[in-house]
């Protein structure tokens, strides 16, 4: 029996990592952009294809950066990805230990890897606290999965109580992978194939085209996954659409961050953005004068925040006082932005 949602995603089975991801509660830890493979569909951007670490969109220069990002989104777990994470195994062990010691054993960690680790590496991952591993075998190996090293790695993971599965894009050949995962009784995560800036050239050369104008999904990828399910060739499968990742997972993550970081006067939208009023002054001195004016108007201090030359308050407060403060200011607007420090401004409405 499969469950389908309104973005087209469906599943007969959801791993714990996917369950938390759907709540927007997983932090994405990108441990390196370096990878020895050359998948034509690789979505990693040119800027990230080097030895860099990101926690969600935040550059990680020290452990504290990672901890802060997890706190800000109230993360219940972390997905480790890359590049190829196991090219930097010591870093992976370190981050798993760090997250488990900071947030407790219940902080669920899954790892995505294109290699098939030996028993020693798996035992070290287990010792550090890894909960789930998703293998991403190259398409050239899909014909011989049963005799591939991935079959052995899945066995090692099980010996050490790590949930194991396969994660690949939904392209021609997935039924061979599905036959393998059914035989191994492990989960199969299929991602809808997507165009990105980094893979567009290679994908076009292979004849892939966009499904439509409003998403990056590749035409036919969803049908391949659906047909496989209809033919009864699924087993424990989860198909995740491009729209689902953008529309649901990202939104849920933004809402979590906004709830944790919004000021009393910020309005949190259903999309996870925040709306507030902004008075941009000529300089810090002018900002002080505007603040005094707002205080004289009876606006309590907790409803005002001054950031250098920007005075911020509730959007509905600003609507009332806009004419009073306009003099000596550069811009008086209602701002909607992503809920991070210097988050992307979605809309700015001048008053």
Applying CB under 6 A, which residues contact ligand SF4?
Answer: 35, 37-39, 42, 44, 82-84, 114, 136
Nearest alpha carbon to residue 315 among 283, 270, 282, 275: 275
C-alpha to C-alpha distance for 95 and 68, rounded to whole angstroms: 14
Q: Which is nearer to ligand SF4, 170 or 279 (CB)?
A: 170
What is the closest distance, in whole angstroms, from the C-beta atom of residue 19 to ligand SF4 in the complex? Answer: 23
- Closest to ligand SF4 by CB, 195 or 340: 195
Smallest distance, ligand SF4 to C-beta of residue 206, A = 15
Residues in the chain: 351
87 vs 280 by CB, closer to ligand SF4:
87
Q: How far is the CB of 87 from ligand SF4 (least distance, A)?
A: 10
Taking the complex as a whole, the smallest distance from the CB of residue 172 to ligand SF4 amounts, in Å, to 17
CA dihedral defined by 148, 130, 92, 111, rounded to 10 degrees?
A: 50
Query: Of the two residues 35 and 152, which places its CB atom closer to ligand SF4 in the complex?
Result: 35
Quick one: 37 or 183, whose CB is closer to ligand SF4? 37
Nearest distance, CB of residue 68 and ligand SF4, angstroms: 26
Q: Write out the two tokens for 258.
A: 């906004």
Q: In whole angstroms, how close is the CB of 209 to ligand SF4 at the nearest point?
A: 20
Q: Which is nearer to ligand SF4, 165 or 272 (CB)?
A: 165
Report in angstroms how near the CB of residue 81 gets to ligand SF4 at its nearest.
Answer: 8
Residue closer to ligand SF4 (CB basis): 44 or 257: 44
d(CA 110, CA 90): 16
Nearest approach in angstroms of CB 203 to ligand SF4 is: 12
How far, in Å, are 23, 277, 281, 327 from residue 330 at the CA level? 40, 14, 5, 8
Nearest CB to ligand SF4, comparing residues 136 and 236: 136
């Amino acid at each position: 029996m499969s469950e389908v949602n309104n973005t087209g995603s469906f599943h007969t089975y959801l791993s714990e990592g996917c369950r938390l991801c759907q709540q927007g509660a997983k932090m994405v830890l990108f441990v390196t952009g370096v990878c020895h493979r050359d998948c034509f569909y690789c979505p990693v951007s040119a800027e990230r294809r080097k030895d860099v670490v990101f926690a969600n969109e935040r550059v990680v220069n020290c452990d504290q950066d990672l901890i802060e990002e997890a706190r800000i989104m109230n993360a219940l777990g972390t997905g480790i990805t890359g590049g190829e994470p196991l090219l930097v195994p010591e870093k992976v062990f370190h981050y798993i230990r760090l997250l488990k010691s900071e947030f407790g054993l219940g902080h669920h960690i899954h790892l995505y890897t294109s290699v098939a680790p030996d028993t020693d590496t798996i035992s070290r991952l287990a010792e550090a606290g890894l909960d789930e591993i998703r293998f991403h075998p190259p398409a050239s190996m899909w014909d011989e999965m049963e005799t591939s090293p991935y079959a052995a790695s899945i066995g090692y993971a099980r010996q050490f109580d790590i949930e194991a599965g396969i994660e690949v894009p939904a392209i021609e050949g997935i039924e061979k992978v599905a036959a393998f995962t059914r035989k191994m009784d492990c989960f199969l995560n299929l991602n809808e194939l997507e165009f990105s800036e980094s893979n567009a050239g290679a994908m076009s050369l292979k004849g892939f085209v966009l499904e439509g104008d409003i998403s990056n999904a590749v035409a036919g990828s969803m049908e391949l996954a659906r047909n496989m399910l209809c033919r009864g060739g699924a087993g424990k499968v989860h198909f995740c659409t491009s729209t689902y990742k953008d529309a649901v997972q990202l939104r849920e993550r933004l809402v979590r961050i906004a709830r944790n970081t919004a000021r009393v006067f910020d309005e949190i939208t259903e999309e996870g953005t925040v709306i507030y009023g902004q008075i941009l002054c000529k300089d810090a001195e002018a900002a002080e004068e505007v603040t005094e004016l707002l205080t004289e108007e009876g606006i309590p201090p907790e409803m005002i925040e001054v950031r250098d030359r920007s005075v911020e308050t509730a959007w509905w407060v600003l609507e009332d006082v806009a004419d009073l403060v306009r003099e000596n200011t550069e811009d008086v607007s209602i701002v909607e932005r992503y809920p991070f420090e210097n988050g992307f401004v979605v809309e700015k409405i001048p008053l």
